[in-house]
């Protein structure tokens, strides 16, 4: 039996079928767009009819007669009014169009069940602190409404509170540090540990704003900062706390970061700096960063009380007058610094009396960087010598007028061995590493407005310049380039900032003693 051939439409495959389907789909979409008003009105009429049937079914039987009479009266009145039927049809079509529109459900607003539970738990925890028995209409009460006091709130991706605005009663003692500290500690514990919170108290409006702070950048390496002479970048902080940014480079990336700038000189109100922190928190790194910045404009004397060799990269460099690790060398360098301060004061005084500008040899700033003076004090006491800190009294007292700046770094547990002169004249303070609120207040003179965390990266801490606010601080990475643990990128960044080597390392070790002797003779002759 002969096989009959397939029709042409089937023999050509699925190409024509696909084209036909696409054409039909396009025609259907076009018809839907053209007939969309009619579809909307029809859907509206169906919904109005369904609503009328539900209304008629819900009407008691004894009231259906009067309802029919009322409907018939309305229809009769509309029919007798000029243009009444036309207006009735227009009104019916408008009502049908409104009822038949596509209604999208509104987006979900407000907290979900878990977030509501967090807010309610936090509200209950604040009740004992923000309530009083004699209050006739308390804002805070057990099983109360948290929406009255939490007017604004935000949550992060993990469902934890990231921002919260709290209203509290006017009789709360928000002017007392202890009362505020209790509230801050409670909010820190209930909102989630391991994060740093900023507390902004508005005493006039009786409001407290709690904000979770983002971590400070830790990938900023040492580099040439865009600063003027007399300005030193201690580190970087939050954008809302300063009114200035610095352009920085990170590989091929360029960005602007808010800095903590310390200003020194004759008009500075905080001419000297005290750095403290636990071992390994970055105090030596900050001293090394300050040294690299100040060598652009002045001379540096480095005294390493710990004797760890962390400043060996500075030995023999241009502008580095001495890098001392021994007790004898440290005493000689600090004695020379005291005589140099006196010489500068005498030269400046003579120039002012004669009506001349200051001599050129005293215009160059002199920086004294002293790391771990307590260790030097113990060694000097064992050898029967004076405490090296006693030689800092003259540079600390008269350094601002003589162009001499003193920076002292000491471990937090050895602060009791810091002399009174250092404590009185170091108005700029930095605390690095984990520290309690009491320790921060003792060193900085004021508590921070954030909650310190226990796990922080190296170089992370707080800074306060004079009577200014307490700022969060992240020190730029400035490791020892001779350390094997230093990465190649950070090693190269530090080496590029070092001045040229002008004196061999062996000869540089004898320079401080000779300089001290020459300075002593010069002061005696003066």
Residue list for the binding site = 277-284
Backbone phi, psi, residue 276, to 5°: -145, 160
Between CA 192 and CA 288 the distance in angstroms is 36
Q: Is residue 242 within 8 Å of 259, Cβ to Cβ?
A: yes
CA distance 185 to 451: 8
- Outline where 403-504 has alpha helix (H): 420-425, 437-444, 488-497
Q: How far apart are CA 41 and CA 91, in angstroms?
A: 12
The Cα 420–Cα 418 span in angstroms is 7
Distance of alpha carbon 243 from its chain centroid, rounded? 14
**The token pair that represents 100 in the structure block:** 């038949």
Q: Which residues pair with 407 in a beta bridge?
A: 273, 369
> Is the distance from CB of 271 to CB of 400 less than 8 angstroms?
yes
**Angle (deg, nearest 10), helices 36-58 and 15-34:** 60
Q: Is 369 left (phi over 0), alpha (psi -120 to 50) or beta?
A: beta
What is the rounded distance in angstroms from the CA atom of residue 428 to the CA atom of residue 407? 9
Binding-site residues for ATP: 277-284
The residue behind tokens 């990938």 is 219
Residues 174, 388: Cα–Cα separation, whole Å:
45
For the chain, what percentages of helix, strand and coil (3-state, to nearest 5) are there?
45, 20, 35
Cross-strand bridge partners of residue 256: 247
Using alpha carbons, list the distances in angstroms from residue 3 to 6, 13. Answer: 9, 19
CA distance 163 to 202: 15
Q: How far is it, in rounded angstroms, from Cα 265 to Cα 289?
A: 19
Burial class (CB in 10 A: 0-12, 13-18, 19+), 84: middle
Residue 166's H or E segment, with its range, is strand 161-167
3-state secondary structure of 147: helix
Determine contact, residues 439/461, Cβ cutoff 8 Å: no
CA separation, residue 19 to residues 22, 29, 33, 401, 411 (Å): 5, 15, 21, 91, 81
């Amino acid at each position: 039996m002969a096989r009959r051939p397939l029709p042409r439409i089937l023999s050509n495959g699925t190409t024509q079928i696909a084209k036909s389907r696409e054409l039909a789909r396009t025609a259907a979409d076009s018809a839907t767009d053209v007939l969309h008003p009619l579809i909307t009105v029809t859907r509206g009429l169906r919904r109005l009819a369904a609503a009328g049937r539900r209304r008629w079914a819900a009407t008691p039987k004894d009231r259906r007669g009067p309802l029919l009479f009322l409907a018939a009266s309305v229809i009769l009145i509309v029919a007798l009014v000029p243009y009444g039927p036309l207006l009735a049809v227009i009104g019916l079509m408008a009502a049908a169009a409104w009822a038949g529109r596509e209604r999208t459900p509104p987006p979900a607003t407000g907290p979900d069940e878990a977030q509501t539970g967090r807010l309610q738990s936090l509200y209950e925890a604040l009740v004992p602190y923000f309530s009083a028995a004699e209050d006739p209409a308390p804002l805070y009460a057990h099983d109360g409404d948290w929406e009255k006091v939490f007017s604004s709130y935000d949550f992060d991706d993990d469902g934890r509170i990231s921002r919260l605005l709290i209203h509290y009663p006017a009789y709360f003692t928000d002017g007392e540090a202890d009362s505020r500290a209790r509230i801050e500690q409670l909010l820190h514990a209930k909102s989630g540990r391991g994060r740093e919170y900023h507390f902004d108290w508005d005493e006039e409006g009786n409001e407290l704003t709690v904000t979770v702070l983002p971590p400070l950048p830790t990938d900023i390496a040492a580099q040439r900062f865009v600063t003027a002479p007399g300005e030193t970048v201690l580190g970087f902080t939050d954008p809302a706390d300063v009114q200035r940014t610095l352009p920085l480079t990170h590989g091929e990336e360029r960005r602007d970061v808010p800095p903590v700038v310390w200003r020194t000189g004759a008009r500075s109100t905080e001419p000297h700096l005290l750095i403290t922190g636990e071992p390994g928190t970055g105090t030596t790194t900050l001293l090394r960063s300050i040294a690299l910045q100040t060598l652009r404009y002045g001379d540096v004397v480095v005294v390493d009380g710990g004797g760890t060799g962390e400043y060996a990269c500075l030995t023999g460099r241009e502008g580095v007058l001495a890098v001392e690790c021994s007790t004898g060398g440290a005493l000689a360098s600090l004695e020379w610094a005291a005589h140099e301060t006196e010489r500068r004061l005498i030269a400046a005084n003579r120039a002012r009396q004669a009506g001349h500008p200051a001599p050129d040899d005293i215009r160059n700033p002199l920086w004294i960087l002293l790391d771990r003076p307590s260790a030097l004090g113990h060694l000097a006491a064992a050898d029967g010598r004076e405490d090296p800190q006693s030689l800092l009294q003259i540079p600390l007292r008269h350094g601002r007028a003589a162009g001499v700046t003193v920076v002292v770094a000491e471990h937090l547990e050895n602060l009791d061995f810091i002399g009174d002169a250092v404590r009185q004249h170091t108005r700029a303070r930095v605390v690095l590493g984990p520290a309690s609120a009491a320790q921060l207040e003792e060193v900085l003179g004021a508590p921070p407005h954030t909650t310190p965390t226990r796990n922080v990266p190296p170089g992370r801490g707080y800074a306060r310049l004079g009577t200014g606010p307490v700022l969060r601080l992240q020190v730029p990475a400035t490791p020892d380039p001779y350390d094997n643990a230093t990465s190649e990128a950070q090693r190269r960044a530090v080496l590029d900032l070092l001045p040229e080597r002008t004196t061999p390392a062996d000869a540089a070790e004898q320079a401080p003693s000779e300089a001290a002797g020459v300075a002593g003779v010069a002061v005696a002759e003066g």
